Structures are given as structure tokens and as C-alpha cells.
Copies of this chain bind each other. A is one copy, B any other.
Amino acid sequence: MSSVNIGIIGLGTVGGGTYEILKERADVISKLVGGQVRIKRVCDRREKIKDELGIDEGIFTQNYEDIINDPEISLVVVLTGNKDIAYDIIIESFKKSKHVVTANKALLALRWKEIFNAARENNSHIYFEASAASGVPLIQGINEGLAANKIKSIKGILNGTTNYILTKMSRDFSTLREATESAVKAGFAEPDSTADIEGYDAAYKICVLANIIFARPVDFKDVYVEGINNIDIADIKYAREMFNLELKLLAVVKKNKEKVEIRVHPALLAKDDMLSGVNYENNGVLVDGNYSGPVMFYGKGAGRFPAASAVVSDIIYLAQKINYNIAGRIPYVNTDTSGVMPVENMDNLQFQYYIRVTAKDCPGVLSKISGILGDNGVSIASCFQKGHGRDLQVPILMVTHFAKEGSLKAALKEIDALDIIKAESIYLRIESEKKEEIS
């Protein structure tokens, strides 16, 4: 029986899980590959990991060059967290005519063009299923299952950590800080989860997905990124009680004529929206194909084995191609790196908004506020004024009709300058699955 030799670099959570699955499922894997997948070398900086994982004798190294320079290894699994080292390893592997599997979304989002140019020059493949929705087979679903379709949009909950935090906040009315601590305790957040909370992790992922569905990649700098750091629990409560809306951190990419919109931000969803039901550490992604209609992929967005499950699927299908000598002959992802996709400015996009204005409780307040909104082209769909607040301040809650974000921001700036306004106004975008407005 033929065999494909692989090397794994990085034996952390995902790398360790990958090693374990490859050992446990060796029989099934070799049937699917049509040959044996042989783990020829594994690499990690930490020597103790060798015993912790029970690594086979003689295959462990602390120097990744041992893998890159081994001419018998044709597939390198790059699971080291450090972007710059991962980049070097990937490029060097391509140069040695090796193929690569990785889960490094930041690297793919930031250096897509260089990586795919290098892959093309060397007739190498790079697979990266685990980089978007962990164990959920999303990239393969888009790339293969929906291959016939023009993908009109992708909208999803792509970060398990923030989804866990928001679910906690919304169910237990805990603060962001308390919910984050609970996520760390449950193993769904790293002690430092800044990249998750600030929205960057989801932004890398939606950028990778955009790069798959469009020929030309998106420049990561053009992705609008807003995290959940400033979410006030009051708005989660009000939006649900008054308007039947649920707050999620949403990542969206959509083609509008010539330009694309690509954005990550907290968004309010109708209760009966499929994405509203995606709770805790789960991910859920709606992919809208022109023939298939909206297809949702849902499952664990975090955890050792879900991510390793995706990595091993990549290893199997890439090893199969290597084994039958067709790897690198058909592009896995159809990418045109001669330019970037033009991205629409957020200010030009139209949404419905939830607004909370905190004003002095005096006559004519509502008329003043709605007047300014109206002058800026923003009209109100529904409005609640919530009793008396502290110091005779009242929160005024509104849902608007569709309006340009630029117009809304201009209106809120004017409103916040009024002396009857007691705190900076809050607005949240409403994301609707349907064409009809929410009111």
C-alpha cells in the first residue's frame, strides 16, 4: 500500500487533537486516502509535550526545519499559533513542493495574496477548513457542496467565545466581565481574549470566507470591525423586551453590484431568525447561494476535537490528491491576486437601527429628537419611553426604518449635543433575514 508522509508543526490544543485523531482513526483514514497516512515527524518547542501526548518514538523534533527539509514529507500541517513563524514555514514548504494544511485565520486574512501566489508558483495546495468555523465543515460546503452557486452573501456567528459571553449576558444578566470569566472557566475563552472580544477573530474568518467566494481577495484593512466591548446589558434587555430582538456578534459579507460590504459588529436579530437560536460556544453561518437559497451550517465553534476534526478532514482529502498525483493540478480555491475587491464604506450602508437616547424628562424632548432624526433622513418605526430614570433621566428607545449609517451618525451627533441629553446615545444595527422591516 502506498503512503503519504506528513509532518505536524505545533502540538497545542488543535495540533495535539489532530495527532490523536490520526492515530485513533488510522484504518478509516487509509481507506479514504487509498494509502496510509504516515506521521513521519512532529514538532513543538516544548519537549514535555512528547510525553504528555505519548508521541511515538523517534518522530519528535523541536526544530521545524527537520520537517521542511525532509524530502519524504509531502504534506505539512502548520498549527503553530505564531503568525510570522507559520508564514515562513508555509512559504518554505511550498518552495520544497510540499502541500499545507493550516488553521491560521489571521495569517490567511492578512497575507492571502502572498500565500496563494506562492502556492501557485510551486503547484502546491493549501487547505484550511478549521480556519473559519472550527469543526463545522463550512469551507468545504461552500467550495464543493455549493460549487454550482454564485454566493450572494455569508452571514454568521463565527466566534464561539463572544457568542458564549453574549449568551451568558443575555440569560443570566451578567456583565461582560463576569460572562468573560465564566467563558474562561468553561474553557471557551483564553485568559486574554482581546482578539475575540474586539471582533478581530470573527473579522479574520469572514475575510477568509470572502476570499473564497470572490475571485479577488479583500484587503483586511477594509473590513469594518466592531467588537462587543461596549455592549451594555441594558440594551440586550430592552431590545428583547420591547422589540423581540436578540443580540449577536455578527460577521457579514455581501456583494452589492460592484462593491462588497464586509463587516463584523454586534447586531440585533429577530427571534425567529435561524441565527438567533445559535447559543453558547456554537457557530452558525448562513450561506446564500443563487440556486441553493440560504443554507446554514451550525456546530461547535471552539474546542480541541471539533477543530482537529476539520484539520483531519483536510489532511484526508489533500493526502488523497497527493496519493493519486493530482494535488496542485486543479486549484482548490479559485483566486485572482491581481487586485483586491472594492469595499463599500459603512456610512453608505443602510440598516434599521435600535437607538437608545438618554434625555432629561421634560416636555418636547421626543419632538426635538425625532425632528433631528427626520432632518437627517432617518424616520422612526416605533418608539418607547421607559418611565422615569435616575435624576429624571428617561431612556427613549426607538427602532428606525432603513436609513444610511452616515445619516444616523450625523443625527446622533446633533442629538448628543443637545443640553437635554444626559449620556452618549447608543445605536445597534438590526440585521433582518427577510426583506420586510421589523417594527
Contact = CB atoms under 8 A, between A and B. Distances in A.
B317 A21 contact: no
A247 B310 CA distance: 33
A32 B330 contact: yes
A378 to B, nearest CB: 32
A219 B83 CA distance: 51
A329 interface: yes
Chain A interface helix/strand/loop/mixed: mixed
Nearest to A136: B295
Interface string A283-304: 0100001111111111110010
A279 B291 CA distance: 19
Nearest to A315: B148
Contact of A148 (B21, B144, B292): B21
Given A148-B313, A313-B148, A324-B329, A32 B334 contact: yes
Contact of A297 (B25, B32, B33, B295): B295
A137 interface: yes
Interface residues of A, number: 56
B146 A313 contact: yes
A375 to B, nearest CB: 40
A141 B133 CA distance: 14
Contact of A316 (B147, B299, B326): B147
A167 B129 CA distance: 35
B293 A296 contact: no
A148 B298 contact: no
Contacts of A140: 140-141, 144-145
6 contacts: A144-B316, A147-B316, A295-B299, A296-B297, A296-B299, A298-B298
Closest 8 CB pairs of A and B: A137-B145, A148-B312, A295-B299, A296-B298, A135-B292, A291-B309, A291-B305, A292-B309
